[in-house]
Amino acid sequence: MGPLVVNEIISENTNLLLAFFIGIGFGFVLEQAGFSSSRKLAGVFYGYDTVVLKVFFTGAITAMIGLLFFSLFGWIDLSIVYVNETYLWSAIVGGVIMGAGFIMGGYCPGTSFCGAAIGKIDAYIFILGLFIGVFIFGEGFNLFEPLFMAEFMGYPRLSEFFGLTEGITALLVIVAAVIMFWIGEWAEKKFPREEY
């Protein structure tokens, strides 16, 4: 939600209330965009529907450009923006597991709750699997901890990792997005979508 609570602009309770309404709005937008359909997310991997890729890449770029301009105008200090710590091997293994789950289940955690909210049975099953996985990981954390904590890389930003300025990094991410959008359009023509 931003450093509003930290800087005592709003209270913790107001922050939670705002998060609640933003979450409802986000879920509503996901459902209206058709993301409550498991075929929508699976379509990215099979090539017949790349809308999810385009929407989330656009969201990431919008946030990135917004933060960059807010920083240039002195409206936000990027040094206090939280960046998740990076553990290389757990990120890779987790990415493979999540990707396999996306392909098999057709949902990500957010879209599964969106599908469940409108009564989709496959979304309920996906959520059940999600909670089983969380339970197994939590109860077996001592077994997974060496992998989970392996290859700590700190809190890197792309610009710092590649030794580039933030502006050049933003430009390169935008170029990558345009290329991905072009590949997505090509894939949708090559693997035509089945009606669903």
**Is 10 a residue whose pLDDT tops 80?**
yes
- Residue 181 binned pLDDT confidence (cut-offs 50, 70, 90): very high
What are the pLDDT digits (tens) for 62-87? 999 999 999 989 888 888 888 888 99
Quick one: three-class SS letters along the chain? CCCCCCCCCCCHHHHHHHHHHHHHHHHHHHHHCCCCCHHHHHHHHHCCCCHHHHHHHHHHHHHHHHHHHHHHCCCCCHHHCCCCCCEHHHHHHHHHHHHHHHHHHCCCHHHHHHHHHCCCHHHHHHHHHHHHHHHHHHHCHHHHHHHHCCCECCCCCHHHHHCCCHHHHHHHHHHHHHHHHHHHHHHHHHCCCCCC
**Is 2 a residue whose pLDDT tops 80?**
no
What are the pLDDT digits (tens) for 11-51? 888 988 998 999 889 888 888 888 888 888 888 888 888 88
Q: What are the residue ranges spanned by the domains of the chain?
A: 35-190
